[in-house]
């Protein structure tokens, strides 16, 4: 941000109106506008992971990749071609893969396990708890095809409970990036983080809008736009839908503060509190069950230090089903329209005596 110097006549400093105009102009320059966020292209977040692990492997020879028969789906082909000696095909044996990964850390390796999110958590939770989390092993659990946007594979594969499962494990870092560029940056960053990490991303092509040159900071929320009327906290695919919702709300004269909570644990509590103390109400939006999700983590922070009206956009205690990503997001209420509706509801609740 540049520096602007105001040169004024002496008598202007005594005018309240003049001083007010100066501060209003300065605020408008400083404010991060939602209108400045534009879609670059559409790419799969899992493809961002594929590019990220290749770059991480080039930077650190200790990085190794493991998969449970899903190298193509997890976009590992470039890594395998460049580092064939640092790739382990575990076959359809996810629990064994977690045990192998835990063992590799003892020799100083940094293993990235790869499979679908459902198989990365529900199927192997005992192995993660006992062999990885309990002893703080430096394993990176990389989980694709998360949430409803997995699509046609249906409820058995659409894990919607994984954030809750993983954030409850002591010492587990939980990251849910929002687009291709951020997934790539997060994949690179976790190689330098000591301790277990759960990295969650998705299957479909999705809006790619964050900077390709970004540096991912674990535990630091990303403020996409500043505003005064309502705070919207989102993660994963729902961030772009929140961007679209915020633009339409702004067109209606509603000032939105939009924050991408890409790190669910450790949570950036300072950013949450700073925002809701200013706006007085909030919305959380995520592709996950309401119970145990990002929204509950945010609510815990607010209830303790700054209780405000809070509305949720999340899956409401149900399993998914087969359908296209768009059909499923619409049916389960994970849309920009839903975000707009609950934002207005949160604002109305704030105004109630």
**Rounded distance between C-alpha atoms, residue 118 and residue 112, angstroms:** 16
Torsion of CA 351, 344, 242, 336, to 10 degrees: 170
Residue 214 lies in a domain: no
Question: Could you say which DSSP state residue 133 is in?
Answer: I
SS3 4: coil
- The DSSP element (H or E) to which 231 belongs, if any, is strand 230-234
**Angle at which helices 269-279 and 294-305 pack, to 10 degrees?**
70
Residues 175 and 224 in one domain: no
Q: What is the CATH number of the domain that holds 183?
A: 3.40.50.970
Residues 61 and 104 in one domain: yes
Expressed as residue numbers, the domain containing 242 is 219-351
Residues 95 and 121 in one domain: yes
- Contact between 174 and 198 under an 8 Å Cβ cutoff? The reply is yes
Q: Give me the number of domains the chain comprises.
A: 2
Would the CA dihedral through 17, 18, 19, 24 be positive or negative?
A: positive
The tens-digit pLDDT sequence of the chain (353 residues) is 334 444 444 554 455 445 444 443 343 434 578 889 999 999 999 999 999 999 999 999 999 999 999 999 999 999 999 999 999 999 999 999 999 999 999 999 999 999 999 999 999 999 999 999 999 999 999 999 999 999 999 999 999 999 999 999 999 999 999 999 999 999 999 999 999 999 999 999 999 999 999 999 999 999 999 999 999 999 999 999 999 999 999 999 999 999 999 999 999 999 999 999 999 999 999 999 999 999 999 999 999 999 999 999 999 999 999 999 999 999 999 999 999 999 999 999 997 87
Q: What is the CATH number of the domain that holds 281?
A: 3.40.50.920
Residue 324 lies in a domain: yes
44, 51, 55, 94: which one is catalytic? 94
Residues 243 and 286 in one domain: yes
* Residue whose C-alpha is closest to residue 267's, from 308, 318, 305, 312: 305
Residues 197 and 72 in one domain: yes
- Contact between 236 and 147 under an 8 Å Cβ cutoff? The reply is yes
Residues 230 and 171 in one domain: no
Residue 12 lies in a domain: no
Domain boundary residue, one of 208, 237, 270: 208
Q: Is 94 a catalytic residue?
A: yes
* Residue whose C-alpha is closest to residue 283's, from 268, 294, 274: 294
CA angle (338, 264, 142) in 5-degree steps: 105
Q: What is the pLDDT of residues 159-209, one digit of tens each?
A: 999 999 999 999 999 999 999 999 999 999 999 999 999 999 999 999 999
């Amino acid at each position: 941000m540049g520096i602007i110097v105001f040169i004024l006549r002496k008598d202007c400093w005594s005018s309240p109106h003049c001083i007010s105009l100066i501060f209003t102009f300065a605020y408008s320059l400083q404010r991060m506008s939602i209108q400045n966020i534009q879609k670059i292209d559409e790419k799969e977040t899992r493809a961002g992971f594929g590019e990220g692990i290749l770059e991480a492997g080039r930077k650190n020879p200790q990085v190794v990749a493991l998969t449970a028969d899903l190298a193509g789906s997890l976009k590992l082909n470039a890594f395998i071609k460049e580092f064939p000696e640092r790739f382990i095909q575990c076959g359809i044996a996810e629990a064994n893969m977690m045990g192998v990964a835990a063992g590799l850390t003892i020799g100083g390796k940094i293993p990235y396990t790869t499979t679908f999110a459902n198989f990365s958590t529900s199927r192997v939770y005992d192995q993660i708890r006992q062999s990885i989390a309990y002893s703080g092993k430096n394993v990176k659990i990389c989980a694709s095809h998360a949430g409803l946007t997995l699509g046609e594979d249906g409820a058995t594969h659409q894990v919607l409970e994984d954030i809750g499962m993983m954030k409850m494990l002591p010492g587990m870092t939980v990251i849910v990036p929002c687009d291709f560029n951020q997934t790539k940056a997060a994949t690179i960053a976790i190689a330098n983080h000591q301790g277990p990490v759960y990295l969650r991303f998705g299957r479909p092509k999705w809006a790619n809008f964050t900077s390709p040159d970004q540096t991912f900071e674990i535990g630091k929320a990303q403020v996409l736009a500043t505003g005064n009327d309502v705070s919207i906290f989102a993660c994963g695919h729902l961030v772009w839908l929140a961007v679209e919702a915020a633009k339409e709300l702004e067109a209606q004269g509603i000032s939105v503060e939009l924050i991408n909570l890409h790190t669910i644990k450790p949570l950036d509590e300072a950013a949450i509190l700073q925002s809701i103390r200013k706006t007085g109400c909030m919305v959380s939006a995520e592709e996950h069950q309401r119970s145990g999700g990002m929204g509950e983590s945010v609510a815990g922070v607010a209830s303790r230090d700054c209780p405000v009206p809070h509305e949720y956009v999340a899956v409401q205690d149900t399993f998914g089903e087969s359908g296209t990503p768009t059909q499923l997001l619409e049916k389960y209420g994970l849309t920009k329209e839903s975000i707009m509706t609950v934002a207005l509801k949160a604002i109305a609740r704030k105004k109630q005596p």
